[in-house]
Amino acid sequence: MKKLSVLLLVVLVVSLSLAALAFWGPKLLPLLMNKPIQPQIDNVLPVTQETQMSTQETQQIDPVLFREQEENKKRLTQGCLTGQDCIQSIQQPKFVSAKQAAKFLNDDDLVIGLDFDGWETEDDPVKAYPIKILNWHEVVNDFLNESPVVITYCPLCNSAAVYNRMFDGKVSEFGVSGSLLNNNLVLHDKLTETLWTQLQGYSLVGKSYPQKLVQVPSVVMSWKNWKTSHPQTVVLSTDTGFEHDYNVSPYADYAESPRIEFPVEHSDSRLANKDQVYGVQMYDQFKAYPVAVLQQSFPEGGTFEDEVGGHPVKITYGGGKFLVEDAVLKKSVPVANTYWFCWVAMYERTELYGAI
């Protein structure tokens, strides 16, 4: 009996020793080998490609660019209270013939025309976008000869601009951000989540900062002049999918008033705030051409030579067109058509054609 008790005690001691060794062995062994203990922590996310990319992107943020974007955010004004896409852009535009468009367009109605020399054919006509429709939507995403473009219009600046919407081989969709810069529409694109100025095409905040959009040549002219010079044109239809009376402008009173709705960073009394100008930017130089001065100087239209910041240009004016050509490179230069107060707020150092 005594031998059995001793045997059971030995078995118990051995069992406890093995259990202790199994529990403490992995923890004591590193210490005996002078290695640090690796803690076991629950609820830690595994290192994946996504977390690695996030860490790399964080490490690659340029502090200068970050500060610039933060400053740009401070410059923005909230235009509409509901924020992004408060004004619905047109994503799938429909078009009608010039004959059908005559049912809702008057001869003096303005249109944005995409005007490419030698591009128009019967199978692939040029396009016109009535301002009376863009007053309600401001942004139209479209394709022109299979090239993705965005047609934009800012009623507060009375400015039209067209840009390429391709980024690194991918097509983005643009919309209204709800923010303004110097009363000018600020666009947002859904691919790179970047904010862009409508008048300049400059990025303000986002993944594409500090890039600039590629501008596409366009003109603003009366429907009468456009259909005369482009009889095969098609026109953006009023069948937009939204319920608006496109014969009524929500900005009619604003256009007739000298008032400015929101603050501007710079003002200039050389012209009245809402005098219409053609704005030209070349080699970081800027010049504004007042429409009233051009009408007085060239009542029948014409071609003349001038300089923008010392760079020679050739200008063709008339029939609703204002075309600028770099006289050295023989290339067309994009032109903005906008209110004076918007142009000079963006380009404080601008020259003024006809100024004494």
d(CA 145, CA 120): 10
User: Is there a domain that residue 283 lies in?
Assistant: yes
pLDDT band at 355; cut points 50, 70, 90:
confident
d(CA 181, CA 152): 15
User: Which residue in 277, 304, 323 sits closest to 116, CA to CA?
Assistant: 323
Do 214 and 348 fall into the same domain?
no
User: Is there a domain that residue 11 lies in?
Assistant: no
Do 271 and 207 fall into the same domain?
no
Is a pLDDT exceeding 90 seen at residue 335?
yes
Range 72-97 average pLDDT: 93
Q: What percentage of the chain reaches a pLDDT higher than 70?
A: 80
Decide which of 50 and 99 is more confident: 99
pLDDT of residue 114: 87
For 231, the domain range is: 60-236
Do 213 and 103 fall into the same domain?
yes
d(CA 153, CA 135): 7
d(CA 290, CA 277): 4
User: Is there a domain that residue 341 lies in?
Assistant: yes
Q: pLDDT tens digits, residue range 189-248?
A: 999 999 999 999 999 999 999 999 999 989 999 999 999 999 999 999 999 999 999 999
pLDDT of residue 124: 61
pLDDT of residue 130: 98
pLDDT band at 71; cut points 50, 70, 90:
very high
| Of 192, 217, 236, the domain-final residue | 236
Reading the block at residue 351, the tokens are: 């020259």
User: Is there a domain that residue 343 lies in?
Assistant: yes
pLDDT of residue 122: 54
Do 168 and 82 fall into the same domain?
yes
Decide which of 167 and 47 is more confident: 167
Do 66 and 188 fall into the same domain?
yes
Q: Which of 50-64, 70-84, 135-149, 338-352 has the lowest mean pLDDT?
A: 50-64
Q: pLDDT tens digits, residue range 134-170?
A: 999 999 999 988 899 999 999 999 999 999 999 878 9
Do 135 and 196 fall into the same domain?
yes
User: Is there a domain that residue 89 lies in?
Assistant: yes
Range 113-130 average pLDDT: 71
CA torsion, ordered 72, 212, 91, 152, to nearest 10 deg: 80
Quick check: helix, strand or coil at residue 84? coil
CB count, 10 Å around CB of 298? Answer: 15
DSSP 8-class letter at 36: -
d(CA 130, CA 114): 12
Q: What is the pTM of this model?
A: 0.81
- Summary mean pLDDT of the chain: 85
Do 225 and 338 fall into the same domain?
no
Name the H helices within the chain. 2-32, 49-59, 63-75, 98-101, 131-137, 223-229, 252-256, 291-297, 340-346
pLDDT band at 17; cut points 50, 70, 90:
low
Do 148 and 232 fall into the same domain?
yes
Do 216 and 110 fall into the same domain?
yes
pLDDT of residue 80: 87
Range 281-287 average pLDDT: 94
Do 165 and 296 fall into the same domain?
no
pLDDT of residue 121: 52
pLDDT band at 18; cut points 50, 70, 90:
low
User: Is there a domain that residue 33 lies in?
Assistant: no
N-to-C CA span, the chain: 126
Reading the block at residue 49, the tokens are: 């490609």
Range 167-196 average pLDDT: 95
Range 259-271 average pLDDT: 96
pLDDT of residue 177: 97
d(CA 330, CA 243): 45
User: Is there a domain that residue 305 lies in?
Assistant: yes
Reading the block at residue 51, the tokens are: 């977390």
Is a pLDDT exceeding 90 seen at residue 8?
no
pLDDT of residue 83: 83
Do 207 and 65 fall into the same domain?
yes
How many domains are contained in the chain? 2
pLDDT of residue 217: 86
pLDDT of residue 45: 28
User: Which residue in 83, 79, 87 sits closest to 133, CA to CA?
Assistant: 87
User: Is there a domain that residue 19 lies in?
Assistant: no
pLDDT of residue 61: 74
Do 82 and 201 fall into the same domain?
yes
pLDDT band at 16; cut points 50, 70, 90:
low
Range with the largest mean pLDDT of 13-22, 60-69, 148-157: 148-157
For tokens 């199978």, what's the residue?
123
